[in-house]
Amino acid sequence: MPLLLHDTLSREKKAFVPDDPNRVTLYVCGPTVYNYAHIGNARPVVVFDVLFRLLRRLYGDEHVVYARNITDVDDKINQAAIDQGVDISVITDRFTAIYHQDMDALGALRPTIEPRATAHIDEMLALIGSLVERGHAYAAEGHVLFDTSSFAEYGQLSGRPLDDMIAGARVEVAPYKRNPADFVLWKPSKPGEPVWDSAWGPGRPGWHLECSAMIEKTLGPQIDIHGGGHDLIFPHHENELAQSRCAHDGPRLARYWLHNGFLTMDAEKMSKSLGNVKLVHELVKRVRPEVLRWALLSAHYRAPLDWTDSLIDQCKATLNGLYQTLRDAKAMLIGASDSVLGYGDPDFRFVKERVEGFVENSLEDDLNTPKAYLMLADAAGQLRSAITAGDLAQVAFHRGVLLEQAKLLGFLQQDPDAWFEGADDGLKAKVEALLAERVAARQAKDWTTADRIREELTALNIVVMDGPEGATWRLGESDPT
Ligand SMILES: [Zn+2]
């Protein structure tokens, strides 16, 4: 089965055919580096990381070029620099480093190229020159604007009447615009802001321009896939498309346009433990990053993702269950012969076949991660059955399958013992306290209290094992759905 991707421009799922399979190109709009990334900003990073991993698998690591820009000149950056009395690079260097740290924590591979806007001012000016020369842009009051009426297909990506889009996006009304939808390519800098010379007067670029310039510089005038959040379709991507096509009279900018849905937060559903933690930088300190990644991929990327405490709890329980199964498998396979372990080798034909089937049935179908999760649950179930049956070869085989499948999504690559050693200290303390309370209740023959405590432990996904030395406990299994 070929890779199918939903293209926003044609509004259909299409078989993916790259222009050149030896150089598959992907561009995703990156962060504006002036503060910490919100968990909603991490969704496209993780979604397109899965696509990047999949493309690398299909075309080879060396044949996929992924560029994600860093917007390091912008009104908000300028304001932060003025407020703190520092050069913009002080702000942008700091938050670029933090962004890398946070996205690395979420298991996202770094893009092949990370172009910075300020390093591409010449390319942006060349693009403006070409647009002015071809009659698609005009200078007015120190600004250069793109003339939307010069491009008949303007609005085709968002597919809504221009008036609706303008109303929805609150497009700035300015006296120097010929049409309300015309957008800024170049504008004068305010006092204290960074400034560059240009044929149209000193100033700085408009935001949309940088992506067109950097796509062309790093990947070429036409690319295979352009991605980003749903909120970027209009005006950002509509404007990128218009600029890039008009500057070269090109037939297209990207062969496929992919957009991920919103991450929504319901304040009422977030009232428990994580209610006011929305920054990745803070979240990764409280929740294991792999749990956050699992949660970010739990809905199909085009669907909205409802971010709640219970989603996080569920994902945590799921990963604990999967790691517990892997831990049990690992314990059984200690000392097993190479011939037994060979059944779990990634290169073993039957392991390869199963992984192939996993990719075809889930990821190649427009990155269907919910389906992938069901298939991982199935693989874990088979591993669990093999463990129960005590069949070492089957344990090795199903463990190999589960690990290889999960790897494609960036999951389950930690040592399972290490996963549990790092278990949440708060939970450990709570469980120990409940167990002590239960011992006291049993000694007092207070069975009602003892039962209630047991129920409370079950609700925490804790399995209690009573033995001659007293009670021990471990995290229980749960279905990864
Ligand atoms: Zn962009």
* Per-residue pLDDT tens digits for 97-141: 999 999 999 999 999 999 999 999 999 999 999 999 999 999 999
For residue 228, how far is its CA from the centre of ligand 1 (angstroms)? 8
Q: What is the mean pLDDT of residues 421-432?
A: 71
Task: Place 434 in a pLDDT band, splitting at 50, 70 and 90.
Answer: confident
Q: What tens digit of pLDDT does each residue of 134-165 get?
A: 999 999 999 999 999 999 999 999 987 777 76
Please name which of 387, 307, 416, 395 lies closest in space to residue 43, comparing C-alpha atoms. Answer: 307
Question: What pLDDT is stored for residue 468 in this prediction?
Answer: 73
pLDDT at 466 over 60: yes
Question: What pLDDT is stored for residue 329 in this prediction?
Answer: 98
pLDDT at 479 over 80: no
Angle CA(174)–CA(125)–CA(117) in degrees, nearest 5? 90
Q: What is the mean pLDDT of residues 49-63?
A: 98
For residue 241, how far is its CA from the centre of ligand 1 (angstroms)? 10
pLDDT at 307 over 70: yes
Question: What pLDDT is stored for residue 174 in this prediction?
Answer: 82
For residue 209, how far is its CA from the centre of ligand 1 (angstroms)? 8
Residue type, 94: R
For residue 67, how far is its CA from the centre of ligand 1 (angstroms)? 11
The Cα–Cα gap between 480 and 466 comes to 27
Task: Tell me what percent of the residues of the chain surpass a pLDDT of 70.
Answer: 94
For residue 33, how far is its CA from the centre of ligand 1 (angstroms)? 14
For residue 29, how far is its CA from the centre of ligand 1 (angstroms)? 4
CB atoms within 10 A of CB 348: 17
For residue 265, how far is its CA from the centre of ligand 1 (angstroms)? 25
For residue 308, how far is its CA from the centre of ligand 1 (angstroms)? 29
Higher-confidence residue of 372 and 480: namely 372
User: For 230-316, where are the E strands, in sequence order?
Assistant: 254-260, 263-265, 305-307
Task: Place 481 in a pLDDT band, splitting at 50, 70 and 90.
Answer: very low
Task: Tell me what percent of the residues of the chain surpass a pLDDT of 90.
Answer: 75
Name the most confidently modeled range: 13-22, 263-272, 465-474: 13-22
> Which tokens sit at 227?
């991605």
Q: What is the mean pLDDT of residues 217-232?
A: 97
For residue 8, how far is its CA from the centre of ligand 1 (angstroms)? 15
Task: Place 270 in a pLDDT band, splitting at 50, 70 and 90.
Answer: low
